[in-house]
Amino acid sequence: MTPDTTEAAPSRLPVFDKNMCPEDMEKMVKNAQAASNFLKAISHEGRLMILCHLASGEKSVTELEDLLSARQAAVSQQLTRLRLEGLVTPRREGKAIYYSLTDDRPRQIMEVVYDLFCRSDD
């Protein structure tokens, strides 16, 4: 067996040490909590699929039901969780409700997830 000689890309993660000032440590804890909440929100298969579909643009609840082959109650439950976490935004048009991504974070994560788990090595 030969040792791996490939060089790892430099990390974009900051280096923290035990001598951090309290303000930096407090900020780090706050950011970790926000990241944890975000990751929990997307950790459900149904929510992940919803975000995947919304990454390509706004969809109605009915469209999401069809795309996911899921019942309205299940889709609405997952959309509620995503809305509470600030990841999606609803828009009402008549009786229809449309959802879109609130910002670019979910799209960026979906691109990474796609690259890691879905892209084929052709």
pLDDT over 80 at 11, yes or no: no
Helix or strand (DSSP H, E) at 92: strand 88-93
Q: What mean pLDDT do residues 99-122 have?
A: 87
Give the total residue count for the chain. Answer: 122
Percent of the chain with pLDDT over 90: 58
pLDDT of residue 60: 96
Percent of the chain with pLDDT over 70: 87
Measure the CA–CA gap between 122 and 119, rounded to whole angstroms.
9
pLDDT over 60 at 2, yes or no: no
